Structures are given as structure tokens and as C-alpha cells.
Structure 1
Amino acid sequence: MKFNEATATPVCDALRATGNWNPNWEPFAELDAAWTEKFMAMAMAPITSGVLDAKTVEFLAIAVDASCTHMYGPGVRRHIRRALELGATREEITAVLQYVSVLGIHSMSLAAPILIEEAAAHEQSLVGKVGACNK
């Protein structure tokens, strides 16, 4: 379904109007405006519900955008700027960034044991081979 003006997209329109629209979302909106609107409404619910204060929402947005699986620089910048405007300190934002950096440790947690196993298996396969170096 091609985007058309008849499809009501108040959430997407509000995100565009406030500068919170990611241009990377535009292809989704063009392909299926109704689906994109529903997705954005779902994603915005925790933000607009009022359950979390604005500064906490910005901290979470910083964490999501800075995470090793997302790494969206424009969002990190926008949310750090907004958090500072809301009274966040450098120390608080640094703590958020330190906390989210823990996500990256899973690469090592996954790969280090595999490396140990595979290196041992490789070394074992070399034992007894002519001219093999066991280093």
C-alpha cells in the first residue's frame, strides 16, 4: 500500500512536527502508513503515558540509541541535549552510558568460551601430525 494523504497518521505527524521523526522510518511510512502509525503509537505509549518522568524517559532513550545493537548517533545527541535541558547532570548521563555499555560484554561472554574450546580442539588435531607446530 503506497502512502496516501487519506491515511490518518497523527502520531507520525506529531513526531515529524516536533523533530523526533527518524528519516529512516520514512520508507515504512511510504510502504504502509497505517502499520507505521500503529507501530509508532505502540512505541510512544510508555513515553506519553506519564508513568515515567521526562528525564527518566530521556535516560532510557539515550540507553536505547547508544546501545551496541542500535548505535543511532542523532538520537543519542537529541536525547542527551533534552536530558540536560531537563536538569540531568553529566554524571547521570555518564552512568547511563556506562550501564548500557554492559550490553557489549555479551560478545566476549559468548565468544571467549568458544575460542577456548576451538583452540583446544585445533591444538589436539595437530598432535601427532608431521611437521605440526603445537604453539
Structure 2
Amino acid sequence: MRAQGAWNPLWDKLFDWDPEWTEQFVSMGSLPIRRGVLSPQFVELLSIAVDAACTHMYSPGVRRHIRAALELGVSREEILAVLELTSVLGIHACNVGVPLLAEELDAFERRRAERR
């Protein structure tokens, strides 16, 4: 992964402390790619989605995979569609937070009414 420019420098300390585990982690993560089941273009689009997701937000990876996708002939529209679909992941903050806010506002109003 280092030779391909796919190494995340945040893994350096982990590799120093436990190289065997880190090697297994990297091997596991790259197995679907090595098997060749998915096209290289599709792998790059998936990688863009993973790195751009609100749970990951790894800009160097997004940039690297966008470059690789473009080199493989993926269109701007395809990459943009992936980024747009990935952005929907963040809606879950509202799916969880808005109902809780409504419940807490109702409870707050009841407590305030009881104090009067």
C-alpha cells in the first residue's frame, strides 16, 4: 500500500506497535480488490464513498481515489453521483436527533407547566 500511495500515515504508529495485526487488517481490506470481482472503476467509486462518508471523512483518500477514478475513465458525473449519495448518510443525525429533540421539548414544556 505504501508503494501504491494508498497507505494512511495515521496507521504508522499502529504498524510500529503491532505490525502483524496491521498487515492482517490491510490484507483483509484489500482482498475483494485482489480477487478482481469488482472492476477497478467500481472499486475507486466505492473507495471515494467510504473515504468521503461522514463516519470517515478522510480527504487524502478521497483525493487519491478521485484521481485514480478519473485516470480509469470514470466521469465527473459518476463521481459526483457517488458524493451526492454518500452525503445522505449524514441525514441519520436528523433521523435520530429530531425525534429526540421533540420528546425533550415536550418533557421540558410539561415540567415548566407543572412548576407554575
Instruction: Report the secondary structure of 1:127's partner residue.
Output: helix
Structure 1: runs of 5 or more not aligned: 1-14, 131-135
Alpha-carbon distance in 2 for matches of 1:128, 1:48: 64
Rg larger in 1 or in 2? 1
| TM-score normalised by structure 2 residue count | 0.96
Q: CA RMSD, aligned part only?
A: 0.9
Dislocated runs of 4+, deviation >2 Å: none
For residue 35 of structure 1, what is the aligned residue in structure 2? 21
For residue 4 of structure 1, what is the aligned residue in structure 2? none
For residue 11 of structure 1, what is the aligned residue in structure 2? none
Alpha-carbon distance in 2 for matches of 1:99, 1:128: 46
Amino acid at match of 1:70: H
Structure 2: runs of 5 or more not aligned: none
For residue 76 of structure 1, what is the aligned residue in structure 2? 62
Q: For residues 18-75 of structure 1, give each alpha carbon's deviation from its aligned partner in whole angstroms, at most 9, with x where no partner exists.
A: 1111111111110011111111100110111100000000000000000000000000
Alpha-carbon distance in 2 for matches of 1:52, 1:129: 63
Alpha-carbon distance in 1 for matches of 2:103, 2:90: 21
For residue 111 of structure 1, what is the aligned residue in structure 2? 97
Deviation of 1:128 after TM superposition, in Å, equals: 4.4
Name the count of aligned residue pairs: 116
Alpha-carbon distance in 1 for matches of 2:21, 2:114: 62
Percent identical: 54
Question: Larger relative CO (CA 8 A, sep 6+): 1 or 2?
Answer: 2
Deviation of 1:129 after TM superposition, in Å, equals: 2.8
Q: Does 1:93 align with 2:76?
A: no
* Alpha-carbon spacing, 1:88–1:127, altered in 2? closer, same or farther (3 Å): same
Instruction: Report the secondary structure of 2:10's partner residue.
Output: helix
Q: Map 1:20-31 to 2 at 5 A.
A: 20-31=6-17
